[in-house]
Structure 1
Amino acid sequence: MKKDKELQTLLLIDHSENNKNSIPKNYKSNIIILGLSFCILFSAFSPTQILQTTINQNLGYYTLAVLYSSLSISNFLSPFIVSKFGEKLSLIIGTLSYSIYIGSNIYVTSPSLYISSILVGFGGAILWNAQGSLVIKYSTESTIGANTGLFFALFQTDQIIGNLGSATLINKAGLSNKILFTIFLGISLIPIIGFFYLSNPNKIKKIIEPINNQDDETKGNDEKEYNENEKKEIDNLSIKNILMSIIILFKDKPIQLLIPSLLYSGISQTFFFGVFSSLIGVEWVGYVMSVFGFFDALASFILGKLSDKIGRKVLVFISTISCIFGTILIYLINQPKIVTTTTIYINDEYRILFYFIGAALLGFSDAGFNTQLYSLLGVIYPTSGETAIGVFKFVQSIATATAFFYGPYATLFDNIIILDSLVILSCILFMFADNFSSLQTISINEFTV
């Protein structure tokens, strides 16, 4: 390519019926491998994260805040890594960072926890960016909802396996924290095997159209073939412009409308795994959070299927109601006056029962927002997977980090008011953002070479 040549590169995915058949059938198996690998990894990481605020208390809150702060900053860099090294190698790099973090809990010191939190923040950004990019590339507009639901259904079973496993190891086997986290460390390395078996998705067809007016003969050539050097040059330019693409994407109307949803997605994680889990106690937290995971996984599969049939708006509305009812229930059973005046709440068994119900409602809500957000981003930005997921994880992790910082100082009432106010706003604006899914959205990058 010559200097002074200005092009607009349109990266298009043909979602027509003819093109759907070009997507290999084994891509479904790749979604399964990806989901199971994430399930295994987070079966080790999730209980490690949940136990932070229980075992290490304020130190746990602060290190998790550092973790998600690092994650938010790293989301500007992760698209470079994923584009440069590819999704498979990026998944491996991200997995190793999680293993380092889990290993730092074997012998706990403040410096090691803070350093490993920074590392897993960087690695987590790479891991999730690669995951989102692969799910989008493995899907078409008609399958993105089902594939997203399938991934999260498999992934969220980590809450069942990890929490039941940790509860059993702590309560039944009586293992020390050192042995527990050593076991988690070994488990966290297993997904690397699965990542090696993932297929590389089909390369997206590139259609180059000059920005200036051309004669009819030039316009007729919609598809042009380039030699290997020219292809590499285009790819390198894409990598150099990813950061600018992320910044530009924030100006896009659908992203602006989805920002409250992305913020809610981040703050809710802090509530689920920091605030809510700390209320239950070490002996019950594993069992209650496994119910959360069960309903999260089950709802992910069901809602992923339904989103392609009845639409995302209805499902997000139901998820919003589920979150509100769940948080109100949790607030009521933690009121001292109710505990002392209402006989049903005096019995700890009944109180735990309501924790299980609250966990089920919150798990359903989490599944609804996760599947529908991924589905909508995949439909609106089918060719900008790395960029869209980078924006998603950047906003989400900033919200999570902020919530972990104020977590030790906020009351349960404060946390619930913030969460419920945000989920209502998210639901309303999601309805408007979903209207853009009916439009044909094209990723446009302008280069001056």
Structure 2
Amino acid sequence: MGPDGKKLVNVIVLGVAFMFIFTAFQTCGNIEQTVIKSLNSTTFHASGYTSMAVIYGVFSASNLLAPSVVAVAGAQLSMFFSGLLYSAYIAVFVYPYTWSFYTASVLVGAGAAVLWTAQGNVLALNSDQHTIGRNSGVFWALLQCSLLFGNLFIFFAWRGHEHISDKDRQTVFISLTVISLVGCFLFFLIRKPDAEAEIAPGDESEAPLLPSDSDNVTLCSPVRACKMLVTKEMLLLSLSIAYTGVELTFYSGVYGTCIGAMTGLGADAKSLMGLSGICVGLGEILGGGVFGVLNKGGRGRVGRNPVVLLGLLSHYVAFYLIFINIADDAPLAPEEGTELTAFIRPSVGVALLCSFLLGLGDSCFNTQLLSIIGFTFRNNSAPAFAIFKFIQSILAALAFFYSNFLLLHWQLLIMVVLGFAGSLSFFAAEWRAQAAAADGI
């Protein structure tokens, strides 16, 4: 196997490891608020929404410090120990206590920043300018498969269950913990590429994007990131990034809870949460695959603005259908659910179509944001992507916090307004980027 083949294997192993970890974690996030409502315990008084707010808040604060951790520990060990924190968070639900739940939330937030920094390091070390598009696509596809497998498990495990018993909960979360641990140990199958031996003297065109662990992770200093945050280009993109954080909260935690709370969807409403997650995953994979190919090599064949517009329209259709299909109190309903209806008789088909559209729209925004950030800040990408994660995670934390008390219609209104403003600011940033490229800047 040639050098490129070995690097591709590393990328595949990286993607499979993340697929296992996030099969467990994203499934956990999708169902935890519903699970918490089902607990009959005097020792547990917590909110899944608050937990996610803590995770993303700590994640945001830790993003600019994580490179130093990876520089000291190395990418492989950083991913392994960060993955263990994800496993610990999931395992808390086997025997849940309030103190352990919120402690694990803080730890997994810090671990997430380290995990994603190390992931970027490994992906860059195993890519060059000719393979980064392919490798990013392979990793994205494997990662998004996590939305399919875990939620499929939930669909069959809870089918026909109107109430989640202690045994149901423990069976699911023990299984998810084991799945997450498998992903952690897969990181040890990644081999460090022999970059120096593979590059002929003077042939920098085939060099990895970043030549060493320490060079990669130390590029992103807090001072450099703060200076980049106030540039015109990043300020324009910040609204779009903020929108992805808010809608991430909605599709990954709130909407599944809404479906599970709708008694009008039938006795299988709890298992439909899993089917909803699968539909989100299908939308993510379709959008990521199609638009990743269309944007291969920079701006792509159709340009970034039409793809973002498609994402906004997909979300607007989904928001309207959710508005008329899901009861206003669904995000806050008790464990037995809500008897209220919206403007039409609750429809399983409409609910699942909305899940697909949420995933499709999310992939449109995220693929184009990654593309324009990589294009605009191609000579200084590490702090740019750190800012991306910083803004996205802090808005996700804020959205999870207000999900504790805002009714569904208010949450939809926030996304409609922010999505419109974020799309306009993205269009302006894209026109500015293309004008600069035409001028040779």
TM-score category by the smaller chain? 0.7 to 0.9
Q: Does the 8 Å contact 2:154/2:271 carry over to 1?
A: no
Q: Deviation per CA, 1:381-403, whole angstroms, max 9, x where unpaired?
A: 44545423321111111101101
Q: Does the 8 Å contact 1:40/1:158 carry over to 2?
A: yes
Tell me if 1:323 matches 2:315: yes
Q: Does the 8 Å contact 1:293/1:363 carry over to 2?
A: yes
Q: Deviation per CA, 1:13-70, whole angstroms, max 9, x where unpaired?
A: xxxxxxxxx9835433333322222111111111111112212256111111111111
Picking from 165, 169, 182, the partner of 2:157 is 169
Tell me if 1:183 matches 2:171: no
Partner in structure 2 of residue 33 of structure 1 = 13
Tell me if 1:406 matches 2:402: yes
Tell me if 1:156 matches 2:144: yes
Q: What is the correspondence of 1:47-446 to structure 2 with a 5 Å cutoff?
A: 47-57=27-37, 59-140=47-128, 144-171=132-159, 176-200=168-192, 239=218, 242-281=221-260, 282-308=270-296, 309-310=300-301, 311-334=303-326, 345-346=344-345, 348=346, 351-382=347-378, 384-434=380-430, 435-436=432-433
Shift of 1:192: 2.6
Q: Does the 8 Å contact 2:283/2:360 carry over to 1?
A: yes
- How many angstroms apart in 2 are the aligned matches of 1:85 and 1:383? 26
- How many angstroms apart in 2 are the aligned matches of 1:355 and 1:240? 44
Q: 1:138 and 1:164, CA in 2 relative to 1: closer, same or farther beyond 3 A?
A: same
- How many angstroms apart in 2 are the aligned matches of 1:26 and 1:317? 38
Q: Tell me the matched-pair count.
A: 387
Q: Does the 8 Å contact 2:148/2:282 carry over to 1?
A: yes
Amino acid at match of 1:283: S
Q: Deviation per CA, 1:111-162, whole angstroms, max 9, x where unpaired?
A: 0100000000000111112223444454455654444333222211111101
Shift of 1:437: 6.7
Amino acid at match of 1:194: L
Amino acid at match of 1:180: V
Q: Does the 8 Å contact 1:144/1:378 carry over to 2?
A: no
Q: 1:341 and 1:237, CA in 2 relative to 1: closer, same or farther beyond 3 A?
A: closer
Tell me if 1:46 matches 2:26: yes
Gaps of 5+ in 2: 38-45, 197-203, 205-210, 261-269, 329-339
Pair member with larger Rg: 1
- How many angstroms apart in 2 are the aligned matches of 1:23 and 1:359? 40
- How many angstroms apart in 2 are the aligned matches of 1:154 and 1:354? 27
Q: Which moved more, 1:264-273 or 1:242-251?
A: 242-251
Q: Does the 8 Å contact 1:261/1:427 carry over to 2?
A: yes
Q: 1:321 and 1:332, CA in 2 relative to 1: closer, same or farther beyond 3 A?
A: same
- How many angstroms apart in 1 are the aligned matches of 2:61 and 2:373? 21
Q: Does the 8 Å contact 1:30/1:199 carry over to 2?
A: yes
Q: Does the 8 Å contact 2:220/2:383 carry over to 1?
A: no
Amino acid at match of 2:319: T
Shift of 1:90: 2.0
Q: 1:139 and 1:236, CA in 2 relative to 1: closer, same or farther beyond 3 A?
A: closer
Q: Which moved more, 1:107-116 or 1:169-178?
A: 169-178
Q: 1:358 and 1:203, CA in 2 relative to 1: closer, same or farther beyond 3 A?
A: same
Q: Does the 8 Å contact 1:376/1:437 carry over to 2?
A: no
Q: 1:24 and 1:418, CA in 2 relative to 1: closer, same or farther beyond 3 A?
A: same
Q: Which has the higher contact order (CA 8 A, sep 6+)?
A: 1
Q: Does the 8 Å contact 2:326/2:342 carry over to 1?
A: no
Q: 1:238 and 1:356, CA in 2 relative to 1: closer, same or farther beyond 3 A?
A: closer
Q: Does the 8 Å contact 2:308/2:368 carry over to 1?
A: yes
Secondary structure of 1:389's counterpart equals helix
Secondary structure of 1:305's counterpart equals helix
Amino acid at match of 1:324: Y
Shift of 1:325: 0.9
Q: Which moved more, 1:296-305 or 1:180-189?
A: 296-305
Gaps of 5+ in 1: 1-21, 205-222, 224-230, 441-449
Q: Deviation per CA, 1:350-376, whole angstroms, max 9, x where unpaired?
A: x01101111111110111122222233
Q: Deviation per CA, 1:250-291, whole angstroms, max 9, x where unpaired?
A: 133322221112111111111112221111112311112211
Secondary structure of 1:408's counterpart equals coil
Shift of 1:196: 2.3
Q: Does the 8 Å contact 2:60/2:393 carry over to 1?
A: yes
Q: Does the 8 Å contact 1:315/1:368 carry over to 2?
A: yes
- How many angstroms apart in 1 are the aligned matches of 2:30 and 2:371? 27
Amino acid at match of 2:352: F
Shift of 1:199: 4.3
Shift of 1:439: 5.7
- How many angstroms apart in 1 are the aligned matches of 2:216 and 2:133? 31
